[in-house]
Amino acid sequence: MNVNSIVVLKLVLLICWPWLVYSKGEQGRLLVNMTLVRNASALGAYCLDGSLPAYHLHRGFGAGANNWLLQFEGGGWCNDIKSCLDRSKTHRGSTRYMNKLEVFAGILSNNASFNPDFYNWNRVKIRYCDGASFAGDAKFFNGTSLLYFKGQRIWQAILLDLLPKGLGHAKKALLSGCSAGGLATFLHCDNFTSYLPKNASVKCLSDAGFFLDERDIALNHTMRSFYEDLVSLQGVEPNLNQNCTSTLYYPHLCFFPQYVLPYINTPFFILNSAYDVYQFHHILVPPSSDPRRHWDHCRFNVTACNAYQLNILQGFRKNMLAALRVFYQDSRRDGMYINSCFTHCQSETQDTWFAVDSPRIHNKTIAQTVGDWYYSRNVSKEIDCAYPCDTTCHNMI
C-alpha cells in the first residue's frame, strides 16, 4: 500500500468511525449519545454536584415515529450526607463522570428481532444523578459542601425538554425503569400521564422496582429506616402520592411501591424476581443482620443455602406475592411477570429480555408478556413456580 492510499484510508476512518461507533458500536451494539438539558438550571434542576441532568434519545421511525418509551436509569440511593457526598463524585451523582455513549439493548434495542414491540419507538434513557429515585427537592450547604437534592425537578426538566421534540404529540407511551428507576416509575407514573395528550395510550412498567417493606433476618426494619432517612434528607415527602400519604400514619412509607400501588390510575406492569438479588442482599439479609456471616455462602451461591435459609427465601417470595395479591386478582388493565430467578433487572439486558435462551414462564418470554399487555393482545399475568423449579433462569448468583 503506497503513502497516498494510507492517507486516504486514514481520512475515511476519521470520517466514518464516529458514525460507526454511534450506530452500531462494539460487537454490533447500539450506542447513543448523551444530551444535556441546557435549560435545567432555569428550573433549579441539578445533579447532586450541581452538574446539568441528561438523557439519551434514539429516534423512532416508521409506524413507531409517534410512540415514546422513557426508561429511568437505576443505581441505588443515598440517605445521609456522607453517602450523598461520595455519590456526587461518581457517575451516580454527576453527569461529569458519566459515559457520554450509552448502550441501548433489550427493551431499548432498535432491532425488531431483539425487541419486536418497541424497536421503532422513540426510546429515551434518563440518567440517574440524584439518589432519591427522581423524587427529592431540597438542598444542603454547610459552608463547605453543597449538595442538590433535585430529582423531582430533574424529572420535570427532562419532560419539558422532550415535549417539543415529539413527546407532546405521542400516540403511545410507556414509562419504565430498572431498580431505583423501577421505583421511580411507581412514583411518577400518573404524573407522566398528565403531560401527554388525553387520547394517548399511556402505560407504565417497573423492572425490579417492587422493593418490599420487609423485616430482615434479625427482625429489624432495615429498609424502612433507610427510606425514612432518605425521604427526610432529600425532601421527598411533598412529592409522594398525596392520597397515599394522607392515609398512612407514617407518610414516608409511601416511598414503598406496595403502599402507593393502589393509588396509581395509569395501567401498570410489574416485572420482578420473587428472589430479587438486591432485596435478598440489602433488605432480607443486609450485613448488619448477619454479623457472623452465616449467610455468606448462601448469598453468593443459592445451591449452598441450607434448609433453614431456603425456608427464609421462600417466605420472602410468599410475602411478595401477598403484597401483590390484590393487584393480581382484581385488576384487568394491569400486568405482571414474577419469575423465580436470582437476578435483578431483566428488561435492559438482551439475554433476559428476548433471546433464544431467555427466561420463560409458561413458555413466554418477558418481552412477549410485556408486549401482549401493552397492546392488549392476551392475558399478561405470569407467576413462576417456586425455586428451584425454573430451569430457564439467568441467575446472577
- Residue pair 344/277 in contact by the 8 Å Cβ criterion: yes
> Please, what is the Cα angle at 371 between 256 and 164, to 5 degrees?
75
How far apart, in Å, are the Cα atoms of 115 and each of 10, 16, 348, 353, 365? 36, 27, 10, 8, 11
Rounded CA gap, 344 and 275, in Å?
9
- Residue pair 278/208 in contact by the 8 Å Cβ criterion: yes
- Backbone torsions φ then ψ of 347, nearest 5 degrees: -90, -25
Q: What is the DSSP letter of 92?
A: T
Q: Which one of 344, 347, 358, 384 is the catalytic residue?
A: 344
Alpha helices for the chain (secondary structure H)? 3-23, 81-88, 151-162, 180-195, 222-233, 242-245, 257-260, 277-279, 296-300, 307-323, 325-330, 350-353, 366-374
Residue 138: enclosing H or E segment and its boundaries?
A: strand 138-141
**Which amino acid belongs to residue 173?**
A
* Annotation says 384 is catalytic: no
- The SS3 of residue 293 is coil
205-233: buried (b, 16+ CB within 10 Å) or exposed (e) per residue? bbbbbbbbbbbbbeeeebbbebbbebbeb
- The SS3 of residue 310 is helix
Q: Which one of 179, 206, 358, 380 is the catalytic residue?
A: 179
Q: Which one of 276, 334, 340, 380 is the catalytic residue?
A: 276
Rounded CA gap, 106 and 109, in Å?
5
How far apart, in Å, are the Cα atoms of 197 and each of 59, 71, 194, 307? 19, 19, 8, 53
- Backbone torsions φ then ψ of 339, nearest 5 degrees: -100, 180
**Which amino acid belongs to residue 360?**
R
- Residue pair 185/175 in contact by the 8 Å Cβ criterion: yes
How many alpha carbons lie under 13 Å from residue 55 in its C-beta half-sphere? 24
* Annotation says 276 is catalytic: yes
Cell representation of residue 41: 438550571
- Residue pair 342/280 in contact by the 8 Å Cβ criterion: yes
* Annotation says 344 is catalytic: yes
Cross-strand pairs, 269: 205, 335
The residues assigned a catalytic role are 179, 276, 344
